[in-house]
Structure 1
Amino acid sequence: MAGFGEPGATAVDAAGLTVGVVAARWHGELTDHMVERAVAAAEASGVREVRVARVSGSVELPVVAQALAREYDVVVALGVVVRGSTAHFDYVCQSVTEGLTRVALDAGKPVGQGVLTVNTIEQARDRAGLPGSAEDKGWAATIAALDAALAIRDLKPRSGQLGFGG
């Protein structure tokens, strides 16, 4: 964790937007809390609807994020990947990051990246928004995605819509 430079993660006025949250079940104690924080951030921002979907692990996040992006203005993906003693960590992290980026670009909708990629479970706890955690990635990923959606909505399209309801 860098520990510096993070923009403010206060609620934004996202009234009327919808949010789809997809979270992995691995490290459920942490991801369950991150989902709670993501939903709280969306509700504090006045979104119209929040839907939560769960998947086995982080590798499955992009395909479900893609499905959610078809129906929701914003998607938030949450998971925890802890480095082990094999190269599996690197493959999972790369796959998830590239997949979520592709979903965002293909759909033209923000995908909040709340997947913790850490060396130890203690590092994950410190980012999961638990009492005493230094960071709250469930909340922060949701606010960042909502903020991006508002920026997209505020752009003046030359023709047609940007994918957000009228």
Structure 2
Amino acid sequence: MSGSGAPEITVDGSRGLRVGIVAAQWHAAVMDGLLAGALAALDELGTAEPTVVRVPGAFELPVVAKALADSGHDAVVALGVVIRGGTPHFEYVCAAATDGLTRVALDTGVPVGFGLLTCDNEQQALDRAGVEGSKEDKGREAATAAVATAVALRKVATPGR
């Protein structure tokens, strides 16, 4: 399972951060789980009222992530799922979304939590979606990573914090 070796991330100093979530709509059961996990993590971390924006699919994640970053959010969480089919569509969408989200983070300096599942089948996606019976909760992990990185960036910008 891909989750072996994952670090346990502790985040201090996240209160008051503005966090945006952009979440795709394809594969509703998977997406509902990812979004619920991200929202639960943000609540536990003390980030009040994240902005949640839904988009059609994974391909649309980067442009809305950029808009959230540009509008003053301290961190963005991008959630989506692409399930392999019988055409090269999977590779194109996965690459475009991944490259786009990376570009958003680098171009804006705002961390983007990567919660884009790229799976061979729906069961693999459900196993990672944080729903009942899942082995992993990638929505929670993406939100925690985004907030932890925002806190780290604050420390870099304000030494001694």
TM over 0.5: yes
Q: Distance in 2 between matches of 1:3 and 1:141?
A: 13
Structure 1 or 2: more helix by fraction: 2
Unaligned runs of 5+ in 2: none
2:11–2:147 contact (8 Å) kept in structure 1: no
Q: Structure 1 residue runs of 4+, over 3 Å off?
A: 9-13
1:126–1:133 contact (8 Å) kept in structure 2: yes
TM-score normalised over the length of structure 2: 0.93
Counterpart code for 1:109: V
1:13-162 matches, within 5 Å, as 13-71=13-71, 72-156=73-157
Give CA-to-partner distance per residue, 1:92-123, whole Å, 9 cap, x none. 00000000000001110100010100001000
TM-score normalised over the length of structure 1: 0.90
In structure 1, the residue corresponding to 2:35 is in which secondary structure?
A: helix
Q: Which residue of 2 aligns with 1:163?
A: none
Deviation of the 1:11 alpha carbon: 5.8
Give CA-to-partner distance per residue, 1:11-30, whole Å, 9 cap, x none. 65410101100000000111
1:33–1:128 contact (8 Å) kept in structure 2: yes
Over the residues paired in the alignment, what is the CA RMSD in angstroms? 1.5
In structure 1, the residue corresponding to 2:97 is in which secondary structure?
A: helix
In structure 2, the residue corresponding to 1:39 is in which secondary structure?
A: helix
State how many pairs are aligned: 158
Unaligned runs of 5+ in 1: 159-166
Q: Distance in 2 between matches of 1:4 and 1:129?
A: 16
Deviation of the 1:131 alpha carbon: 1.6
